[in-house]
């Protein structure tokens, strides 16, 4: 895969903070609650299925390696006074090839107990600001299956827009491979 030409610019060691959230590097204690949310069928409704403990740990390891490689990634979400770990929100470089890659994606996954509080939107705005500001990206994308209306709503609330001509078949997903693509340019949000 061609690397995204952004150089390696480590995110602040303390992570990003928003009004209610801390987006930070992962800790070993996060892996257990991460496995719990990945084993929840509600959280994984629009993915290929729930993850085993081993699959969840492999994903956490990959997320950590992404931070080492790029300096940024899918931050662990801490909600002070509410939850030491609620899921992840952040930026990642997709590993598959499509008509819009190489690119940087903004993504999110939270435990169901914390849905509906605006956390994903709040964290995504901070991640986008970091991507456009610190990383100097010109564009950030996001994608999901058409039925994932919650996730699409987060994309829309952060100012991302979809052109149906960008819809694509995700090469890494068997079965439900059709995806909608949302884009946000640096000066349009």
Among 17, 115, 161, 168, binds ligand COA (CB under 6 A): 115
Closer of 66 and 109 to ligand COA (Cβ): 109
- Backbone φ/ψ region at 155: left (φ over 0), alpha (ψ -120 to 50), beta: alpha
The reply on whether position 153 binds ligand COA by CB under 6 A is yes
54 closest CA partner among 67, 36, 37, 35:
35
Among 17, 46, 101, 186, binds ligand COA (CB under 6 A): 46
Please say whether the dihedral angle defined by the alpha carbons of residues 188, 24, 35 and 83, taken in this order, is positive or negative.
negative
Q: Least distance from C-beta 112 to ligand COA, angstroms? A: 7
The packing angle between helices 31-38 and 53-70, to 10°, is 120
The packing angle between helices 149-157 and 119-133, to 10°, is 50
The reply on whether position 100 binds ligand COA by CB under 6 A is no
Among 20, 25, 53, 150, binds ligand COA (CB under 6 A): 150
Among 80, 116, 133, 159, binds ligand COA (CB under 6 A): 116
Closer of 72 and 119 to ligand COA (Cβ): 119
- State the binding string over 130-149 for ligand COA (x if CB under 6 A, else -): --------------x---xx
Q: Least distance from C-beta 64 to ligand COA, angstroms? A: 19
Kindly calculate the radius of gyration of the chain based on its CA atoms and give it in whole angstroms: 15
The secondary structure of 129-178 as a DSSP string is: HHHHHTS--SEEEEEE-TT-HHHHHHHHHTT-EE-GGG-EE-TT-SSS-E
Binding site for ligand COA (CB under 6 A): 43, 46, 108-110, 115-121, 144, 148-151, 153-154, 157
């Amino acid at each position: 895969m061609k690397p995204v030409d952004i150089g390696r610019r480590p995110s602040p060691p303390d992570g990003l903070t928003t009004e209610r959230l801390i987006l930070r590097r992962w800790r070993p204690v996060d892996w257990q609650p991460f496995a719990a949310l990945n084993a929840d069928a509600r959280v994984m409704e629009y993915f290929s299925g729930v993850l085993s403990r081993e699959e969840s740990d492999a994903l956490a390891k990959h997320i950590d390696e992404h931070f080492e490689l790029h300096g940024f990634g899918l931050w662990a979400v801490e909600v002070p006074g509410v939850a030491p770990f609620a899921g992840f929100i952040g930026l990642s470089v997709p590993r598959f090839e499509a008509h819009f890659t190489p690119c940087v994606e903004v993504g999110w996954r939270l435990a169901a107990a914390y849905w509906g509080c605006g956390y994903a939107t709040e964290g995504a705005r901070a991640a986008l600001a970091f991507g456009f500001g610190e990383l100097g990206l010109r564009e950030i994308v996001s994608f999901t299956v058409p039925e994932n209306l919650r996730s699409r709503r987060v994309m829309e609330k952060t100012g991302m827009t979809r052109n149906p001509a960008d819809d694509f078949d995700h090469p890494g997903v068997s079965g439900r491979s059709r995806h909608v693509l949302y884009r946000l340019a640096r000066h349009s949000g």
